[in-house]
Amino acid sequence: MISPAIKALLWRDLTLARKQGDGLGAALGFILAVIVMVPIALGPDPILLQRLASGMMWLALLLAVLLTAERIFQSDFEDGSLDLMTMTNVPFELITLTKALAHWLTVSLPLALIAPPLALMLNVDSGTLPMLWLSMITGSLALSLLASLGGAIAAGLRRGGLLIAILILPLYIPVLIFGVATTTLMMGPQSAWPALLILLGITLLLLVVSPIACAAALRAYMR
């Protein structure tokens, strides 16, 4: 049974994201820029674009999510909302997890749903689209959980985006490797399911670890 306080927090964050809308807009604009500019930079070779399409889409998704990481906790930290949240009877780890899920629902998941059809512009094999969708939906949650960790570490800093990138980009590498592997393996004789299961395992691990780390980082700022 979900606590009414958690439902209220999730609804609050979803409503704020819908009204502001600039986070998803900036992230979507970044992905569109990658799709438009990369073929111009690499040339019109369809075979080359097809070979690189999956990796480019995953890299674009990763960086687009990272662009919005600073927003997850910063406004609540600055206006004192996080201090009030620590005074409730709801575990602070659950609060940080809820905010990460709100970020996933408003930024990462929409991007993961939109990106695969856009990959057709890069001559991606249409047969790989279902697996690309599945892997991006699974991996996008891991990206949001890691983004929330970066946002928590930099919540008390002005313009902490560079610090978030330095700290979180190395942690994104396993997600990127196994995310790309799910579609590249489909083009050969090997099955893509082991890579997808590893990606799912990484996501489940982050569901446990990330909220604890976020709560610890935020508590250090609020002492």
Confidence of residue 148 (pLDDT cuts 50, 70, 90): very high
* pLDDT of 171: 92
How far is it, in rounded angstroms, from Cα 104 to Cα 158?
23
Query: Would you report the helix, strand and coil content of the chain in percent, each value rounded to 5?
Result: 85, 0, 15
Strongest mean pLDDT among 4-8, 60-64, 84-88:
60-64
If you average pLDDT over residues 61-73, what whole number do you get?
Answer: 88
Nearest to 175 by CA among 154, 149, 196, 150: 196
Q: Encode 63-81 in three state secondary structure.
A: HHHHHCHHHCCHHHHHCCH
Confidence of residue 188 (pLDDT cuts 50, 70, 90): low
Residue 161 predicted with pLDDT over 60: yes
Tell me, what DSSP letter sits at residue 89? Answer: S
| 3-state secondary structure at position 183 | helix
CA gap 157, 155 in Å, rounded: 6
> Per-residue pLDDT for 163 more than 90?
no
- Provide the CA 165 distance to its chain's centre, in angstroms: 13
Range of the domain at 30: 4-222
The single-letter code of the amino acid at 157 is L
Q: How many CB atoms lie within 10 A of CB 80?
A: 10
Per-residue pLDDT, averaged over 77-99, amounts to 86
Q: How far apart are CA 85 and CA 73, in angstroms?
A: 12
When pLDDT is averaged across residues 124-131 and rounded to a whole number, the result is 81
The answer to whether 62 and 143 have CB atoms below 8 angstroms apart is yes
pLDDT attached to residue 157: 75
- Kindly report the number of other CB atoms within 10 A of residue 60's CB atom: 22
Mean pLDDT of 61-76: 87
Residue with tokens 């902490």: 160
**CA-based nearest residue to 138, from 183, 91, 191:** 183
Give the pTM.
0.91
Domain count, the chain: 1
Q: Up-side HSE of residue 74: CA atoms within 13 Å toward CB?
A: 14
Instruction: Please answer whether residues 66 and 131 qualify as being in contact, where contact means their C-beta atoms are separated by less than 8 angstroms.
Output: no
